[in-house]
Each structure stands twice: as C-alpha cells, then as structure tokens.
Amino acid sequence: MADKIIVGGVSVDTRHWIGGRRVASAETFADSSPIDGAVLGEIARGGPGEAQAAVAAAKAAFPGWAATSRGERARILHAIADGVEKRLEELAIVETTDNGALLRSHRRGVMPRVAHNFRFFADWLLKLGHEDFETRGHTNHVSWDPAGPCVLITPWNAPLMLATWKVAPALAAGNTVVLKPAEWSPLTASLLADIAAEAGLPAGVLNVVQGYGSEIGDALTSHPDVRRISFTGSVPTAKRIAGSAAANLTPLGLELGGKSPLLVFADADLDLAVDLAVEQYDNAGQVCLAATRFLVEETVAEEFTRRFVEKAGQLTQGDPRDEGTDIGPNIHPRQLEKIDGFVQRAVADGARVVIGGQRKDAQYYAPTLLTDVAQDSEIVQEEVFGPVLTLQTFSSEDEAIRLANDTRFGLAATLVTGDPERAERVTAQLVAGTVWVNCFFVRDLQAPFGGSRLSGVGREGGTWSFDFYCDLKNTVTAPNGWSRNHG
C-alpha cells in the first residue's frame, strides 16, 4: 500500500494518525470517487488493534491537555483554523473528489465553516461560565471539567464540517479525541490530522483511525477508557453503538436521521416557498435536515407544483467540480441502489412520478418528486437520503400539523406562511429540534442543534456542546469557612 495518494493534485496520507505519528495497517480498503467511480487509493483498514492503540494514545495525552490553560487551548484551536484557511482550496478539491459535493459550495461555504467551527468554540471556551449563586449563605460555583478520551464517529455527507463540529468543542473542553471518519469519505480527516499537528496540537490529543464500523467502530465504542461517544449517522448504527457503550455507561450524543416537513400555507409567498422547496435537492438530497415531505395547502397545491417543476427543471446535474453544476452525484453505487429501491417500491404502491424517478447513470439519480403517496407509506415514513421528495396536501391547519408530526423522526421542520400568528401557533406544536419560518438552513453555533424522537439524543452547539463534553461540577463553600485555625 502506498503511504500517500494524490487527489486533485493534493498529497493525502492513507495511514492512520495515532499518538502523533502515521501508522499503517496490514489490510486496506478501496476509496472511490462518486464523480466517476474511479478508485482514489487504498486506505489503511483498522481493527481492534488500531482502536486500542488510538484510545491508549488519547488516554496518555489526556492529563497534559486537560491541564492546559483555556487560553492556550484556544490559541491552538485558532492556529488550526488558520491552517484550514491556508489549505482551504486543497481541502475543497479533496472533499469534492471524495464525496461528490459541489466544489463551489466547499470553497465558499463548507470549508470556511470548518475554520469557523474551531474559532467559535475557542472563543466560547474563554467566556464559558455560570454566575455563582448562594444557598443559605453558601456559595455555589459551577465548573466544566474535561471528561476524558472521546470517540467521534462522523458521516460521509459533509465529512470535514461535521467532524470538526465535534472535534472543536471536544478539544476546547480539554478532552482528547479519537476520530473515526466514514469509510466512503475518509480523506479530509487525514488532512485535518496534518493541520492540527502543524498548529502545535500535542501528540495523542487528536487521533484519526480509518476502517469499517464492524471492525474498528465496535472496538472503539466498547472501550472502557472512552468517556464520551458522539455519532452522526443512521438510526440502526446508533442502536448498535448504544448497545456497545452500555456496558461502560459511556455517555452518548446522537444526531440521527430526519424526515422533515415543508409546510406551505395558502397565504405564503409561493415564489419563496418554491425556492425553499428546490433547495431541498442540495448535496443530491444527502442532507439530514432536508425537508423531504412537502405539505401544501390544497387550494395552492396545483400552482405550487407547476412552479416547482419549472424551477427544478432549471437545475444542472453533473460534475460537481464545474461551477455551473447544481446537483452532483450520490456518494456510492450502493446508495443509488437504495434510493432507486425506495422510488420503485413507491411507484409500485401507487405513487405518481411528477419529475425524475430514475437513475441518470451509475453515479447520478435524477431529482425526483412523487405525489399520490399515502401517509403510512414507506416513502413518507422512512429517510431516503437522496434527491427524492414527496408532495401531499392538507385542508386545515390542524391537518397540516398532524401530517407534519406523523413520523418517527423529529429533526427539523420548515414553515412558509404570511401570517405571523399562524407561524407561532404551528411552530409551538411541531415536533422538531429546529424550525425555520420563511427560511431554510440558517444555522448559528450558539443555537442548540439536535433532534427529537428517533432523530437523536442530546444537543450540540454553544454551551450545550460543553455540557456534553465535560463533567459539570458544582462546588459549595460554607460562609466564613476560612476563619478556623487549621493548625
């Protein structure tokens, strides 16, 4: 196995990063580009041995990093952000080649957000605190103590952004990290290890291991020295991780799937509603927050559909490296098979294809809209994670809320209405971790993010991230407790 591969002109190390050095494995797995299916290289395939070594390195590095001052931790996180910005173009081209998302999005939005993740949590660390309060004259002081080694398992749809959304607060909190990226998009995690080392992060504080969940993931999540596990991905995998962590009662943070609604009322600005609806095809539909279920008031459903079809027809699907491309490929042939299976079963059950409904070739699935779908059907109830949307109608506000909430998920919801009182009423009744009113995908790291029901456990962002990655301590001091003679 070659230790390094060249991707888009960028050198990427294919080995693990453990304890401040590169570590090879006896076995490898092939990493392919979703753009054309070409094999990019053979990646080190870790197992229990690499998991043990990575956790041991994180455990050994923990006391020193935990004792590092907040100011020094923040300085190093800002240095990592500097490194990301310095290599932004390299990170963008490698990630686009590896996971198929738009290069223009990586350049303008995603990679700048990666740097922002580190800067935000570095700055938040410096102001993290709680005002002291009194209980019968006694002083209560709340502090956030580093928890220990953390295992962070991240998905393939936004690899580096979602990884650093976990890595940054975990490191800021004083923890050490073992990062396990998805095997379908591992390359930018390797580059992050280089950037962190160059920024002066001590050896063992950040470790990156690659491989399959069944081989290395289980060994990480069941390890008794791991004090936190954070996972973003599917519900079945989350259940497996929860079972693995149960023996050690390791605290879990889970950000899982969604089947979010887009509610369009008759009083809505239809042009806005259509713009937001077409935006749900972003990243080829591979967005957990996507509002994949259109719920449209029946009096405007025909006009909404007409405008949507016209607008969606203007999208360009193709090579994500081209500036004019709007929709790139799906991540892997297995994902395309899964997407097409959902669509074909829905059609067999009576759904009507408005647009799309088929593969374009081995890597691309046509943007699809289905209607005449039953509320209890698979296509309405299960996450497809592809460019497949459904449209249903409603006749009353109560019916819209009932349909919106009638799934096992509760990650997000989007509401389009011209009536602020209706927005307030409906929002209050929606089961969702995030609700957007007349907008979509406006995100701030100060806000809590997570889901209800099967969409997750816990919240990330701002102080909520530190609450998860730390052991909170309350110190209670008696009044005049220092006046006694202790000899």
Task: Give residue 462's identity as a one-letter amino acid code.
Answer: G
Whether residue 97 contacts residue 182, with contact meaning beta carbons closer than 8 Å, is answered with no
Q: For this structure, is 288 an active site residue?
A: yes
- Catalytic residue, chosen from 255, 297, 383, 460, is 255
CA 431-436-437 angle, to 5 degrees, is: 110
- Catalytic residue, chosen from 90, 95, 288, 470, is 288
Q: For this structure, is 150 an active site residue?
A: no
Write down the H helix ranges in 359-487: 378-381, 397-405, 420-429, 462-469
Task: Give residue 226's identity as a one-letter amino acid code.
Answer: V
Dihedral of the alpha carbons of 458, 461, 462, 467, in degrees to the nearest 10: 30
Which is it for strands 452-453 and 409-410: parallel, antiparallel or unpaired?
antiparallel
Whether residue 90 contacts residue 191, with contact meaning beta carbons closer than 8 Å, is answered with yes
Q: Which residues of 419-454 are buried (b: 16+ CB within 10 A; e: fewer)?
A: eeebbeebbeebbbbbbbbbebbeeebeeebbbebb
52: left (phi over 0), alpha (psi -120 to 50) or beta: alpha
The number of beta carbons lying within 10 Å of the beta carbon of residue 302 is 11
Catalytic residues: 255, 288
